[in-house]
Structures are given as structure tokens and as C-alpha cells.
Structure 1
Amino acid sequence: MFVGYARVSSTGQSLDIQNEALVNAGCEKVFAEKLSGRSMKDRIELANAIDFVREGDTLVVTRLDRLARSVGDLHRIIETLTEKKVAFRCLNQSGVDTDSSTGRLMLAILGAVASFENDIRLERQREGIEKAKLAGKYKGRKPTVDPDRVRELHDNGLGPAAIAREMGIGRASVYRALAA
């Protein structure tokens, strides 16, 4: 049995193209979700798909990055499928499967490339944030603690726990405000 797995990163994106491709490839059941692929955490439909497949089945995705964004996650998923004697196939990256040694090699190489691309994207994002900070356009989150009020309460004899209760903030925030 071919079992499909489709994923998009946000709720505003559509799963239609992936679902259609998986059904056209012969998938009798498709698991789909709208969730970031950065880690396997909270990916309930992926867990359901892996739990659903049985020996002799094939898990199918349209693109490798729909399954995993890190080499570690990819290898864990493939290892789990292999232990269950379940094959894996990727539609848009032909030759990426677990049926042959060449397919497994391609899987490892493309997994490493996907992880590399993710690292590059995060690096560019960090660089953009730094540039925006230097230009004064990125200021971060607005402060939620008024340090002057914390100092005022402290000067009036209240301890950190009492100040935290009074202001509805964490005690660690009180200590940071007093240290600043």
C-alpha cells in the first residue's frame, strides 16, 4: 500500500498540490498537516503516518523537505521505516527511495543539502536582523517590565517576591530590573 504524507509550513498555504500528486501516485491514504518542518516535535500527522504503515507499505512524499529539514530527523524517520520494513519514496526527486543502495545514497545526499540550505537561510536571517538593528529598524519586543516602578517598590521596602506579585511579573524579571 502506498501511504502519502503532505506538509506545508503555515496555515495560509495550501496542501492541494501535494495531495493531488500523492493520490495520482497511487497513495490510498494521505496524512497531511500545516506545521513547520524544522523538527519532528508536534508533527502529529507524521507520527500517525509512521504508526499507520505496515511491512511492505511505502511512505511517499512529494519532496524530501516535506518530510524533514534536518539530516538527523531524516535519518531517524528512515531508520524507523526500515525497522518496520516500510519503503520510502520521493516523487519530485526521482531516485530518492530506500529500495536501492543508489536511492539510499541520494536520500543521504539530498538530506544533507536540505539541512545545509536551512542553515544558510537561518544565517541570512540573522544577518538581516543584525543589519536592521544597526540601522535602528529592529528594536525587538517592547519591554513588559517598568524598571523605574520596580526600583520604586524596592526603595519602599518590598522584596523581589512581593514586587513580582504586585506587578504580575516573574521574580527573575525583578532581579534583572534591579541589576540594570
Structure 2
Amino acid sequence: MLRIGYIRLRDEGSAEDAASLKAMGCHVVRAEEPPGPEADDSGVLFSILDFIGSGDQLVVGRLDHLAHSSRSVLDVMDRLEARGASLYVVDPELCSEGDGGRTLRAVLEAVSTLEPAADARRRRTAAAPQQIRALQRAGVGPVEIARRLGVSRMTVWRKLRALEA
């Protein structure tokens, strides 16, 4: 059985998590910078899910290392099951195998019904005018600034206008 550890680098304690995953017997530990607070399409995690084989185990420090929604965690669990692999979470100690796995799945499915739909518009935190100005000075256009900061183009235009006044 191959144990593969996975860490998102922006999470607090990620350096300690890497060491603890190695100490727990993970043969490989992969880390990545997550793409954003609402994006769950992480390249390293998906490459692990494509690689992992039957009888192998994906190990994470916390359940929120996998994704930002319970629906996305369920998707990861589905992909692992399809490959004959399992999920092990260190804190709290959870495993997707056996009775505990069925309970974990039931809880995640219940929670996912309470979460807003993935395509629902979510209000983002306001981008700081300094961030917008810095990107503009670096030669980035307003549309790209909006995309990078996760705000509307109108927000970028308003903040640029306010900075010029």
C-alpha cells in the first residue's frame, strides 16, 4: 500500500503537516499553492487522483485541505473509490473505509445540501485600492486585474477613478 500525503501551502501549519505526514509513513508528500478561495481545481491533487492505485491511501492533515466545499470533498472521495483507493484524515482522525467511511460520506452529503450552489454568485471581499494600483502600474489591464482579484470590472474602474481623484 502506497500512502500519499497532500498539503495546501497557504494553510497554517503546512510545514509541520508535511513533517507529520512523513512521520506517519507517507511514502510521498505533495504540496501546492491553492488556486483561490473558491476554486477547487488543483493540479497537484488531480494528478494524485489520476496516479493513485488500488489499495493506496491519500493522507491529508485536515479535511479542508482537499477542497472548500463538502461537495468537492465528496467528488474527491468518489474519484478515490473509483480507483480502489481510500482517504485518511489526520485531524480529526477519519478514514473513508468501512463503517466510518459510510458515516463520513453521509455527513458530507447532508452538509452539502446546506451549502449554496457552486454556481451561485458569492460576494467577494473588496479589493484594496493599493492592490489595484500596483497591478495597474505593473501594466496589467483592468479586466485582468478584476479576474486576478476576483472582483467585477466595475469595481476596478470605480477604485481607479477614486484613486485618480
Q: What is the TM-score normalised by the length of structure 2?
A: 0.62
CA distance in 2, matches of 1:69, 1:112: 16
Contact 1:69 1:114 in 2 (8 A): no
Note the 1:125-136 alignment, pairs <5 A. Answer: none
CA distance in 2, matches of 1:100, 1:80: 17
SS at match of 2:158: coil
1:92 maps to 2:91: yes
Shift of 1:112: 5.7
Shift of 1:143: 3.5
Matched with 2:119 is none
Matched with 2:70 is 71
Runs of 4+ in 1 over 4 A off after TM superposition: 110-116
Note the 1:20-99 alignment, pairs <5 A. Answer: 20-35=19-34, 36=36, 38-41=38-41, 43-94=42-93, 96-99=94-97
Matched with 1:177 is none
Shift of 1:4: 0.6
Aligned residues: 127
SS at match of 1:27: coil
Identity of aligned residues (%): 25
Across the aligned residues of Structure 1 and Structure 2, the Cα RMSD in angstroms comes to 3.4
CA distance in 2, matches of 1:28, 1:19: 12
Matched with 1:109 is 107
CA distance in 1, matches of 2:46, 2:158: 39
Q: What is the TM-score normalised by the length of structure 1?
A: 0.58
Larger radius of gyration: 1
> Where does structure 1 lack aligned partners over 5 or more consecutive residues?
120-124, 130-139, 147-180
